[in-house]
Amino acid sequence: MNSKEEKQDKIVHMFDDIAPTYDLANRVLSFGIDKQWRKKGCNKAYDILGVTTVAQITDVATGTGDLLLYWRDIAKERNIQVSKYVGIDPSVGMLDVAKSKVDFAEFIVGKAQTLPVEDASTDIISISYGIRNVVDRVEALAAFYRALRPSGIVVILEFTKQEHKSFIDKVVHFGMKHILPKVGGLISKNYEAYQYLPDSIEDFLTTQMLVKELEEAGFEMKYVKSFSMGISTLLVAQKK
């Protein structure tokens, strides 16, 4: 096993461990605002896709399946018919939680970079707060492009790296670096996992760098928006 595979396996095992408390920690740490971020991503993707029937939505790094619930509920609100929902994640622990609360999707154990989805088979691929944890990100974006149908949409929600130039940036950074790990660790009893979160953000890309990688993978950017003082960023791109 090479160093990349070892790092990826370590991340997967970490998510297995925190799976039972993951949803609660998300709600507490985001004050519930993450719900609005997810809804915005789903609505924007449906806007850009501009259709009333969708063959398949594939949620990668689906975790506990939260985003699949938003895909379904918003599709119903908009009278969009979705034939198939698929959730993919390498963490068996996370998928066990997902299966207990999402009864309308197919769940597959798998990684983003070796996406177990047929070529040109899905209209939408989403990944919320997961692309940062994919070690082979370039390979993952290539897999997304392969699996999407022509004009298909990729939706990414992520904590992108900030420049910490303004006072607000520094306040947000302090909270993410020092407060978030303590609260997340208290809820999950795994302090290492929630120390990993701010460290992984610092080691990740800026929004502009992620946009560049998407464009280099062949996608056309359709929407980029930061939320809550730059804490979270939504990127929506389309297969050319």
* 47 found inside a domain: yes
Residue 19 lies in a domain: yes
Q: Please state the rounded mean pLDDT for residues 207-225.
A: 95
Domain span including residue 107: 3-160+206-239
Query: Which is more confidently placed, 36 or 168?
Result: 36
The answer to whether residue 170 is domain-embedded is no
Q: 173 vs 35, which has greater pLDDT?
A: 35
Q: Is residue 182 part of a domain?
A: no
Three-class secondary structure of residue 120 per DSSP: coil
- Contact (Cβ atoms closer than 8 angstroms) between residue 126 and residue 58: yes
- Cα angle 178-181-187, degrees, rounded to a multiple of 5: 140
Residue 96 CB neighbour total at 10 angstroms? 14
Q: What stretch of H or E contains 82? A: strand 81-89
Torsion over CA of 89, 94, 96 and 101, rounded to 10 degrees?
-100
pLDDT in tens, 95-134: 999 999 999 999 999 999 999 999 999 999 999 998 988 9
Question: Tell me, what's the pLDDT at 25?
Answer: 76
Strand partners, 86: 58, 106
Mean pLDDT, range 191-208, rounded to an integer: 69
3 state SS of 167? helix
Question: For residue 197, is it within any domain?
Answer: no
Tell me the CATH number at 217.
Answer: 3.40.50.150
Query: Which residues touch 189 (CB under 8 Å, ≥6 apart)?
Result: 21
- Domain annotation covers residue 199: no
Top pLDDT among 202 and 124 is at 124
What average pLDDT does the structure give for the chain?
A: 87
Q: How far apart are CA 26 and CA 231, in angstroms?
A: 13
Query: Per the structure, how many domains does the chain have?
Result: 1
| pLDDT tens digits, one per residue of 33-87 | 888 999 999 999 999 999 999 999 999 999 999 999 999 999 999 999 999 999 9
Most confident of 23-32, 95-104, 166-175: 95-104
Q: Is residue 29 one of the residues assigned to a domain?
A: yes
On whether residue 178 sits in a domain, the answer given is: no
The two most distant CA atoms of the chain are separated, in Å, by 47
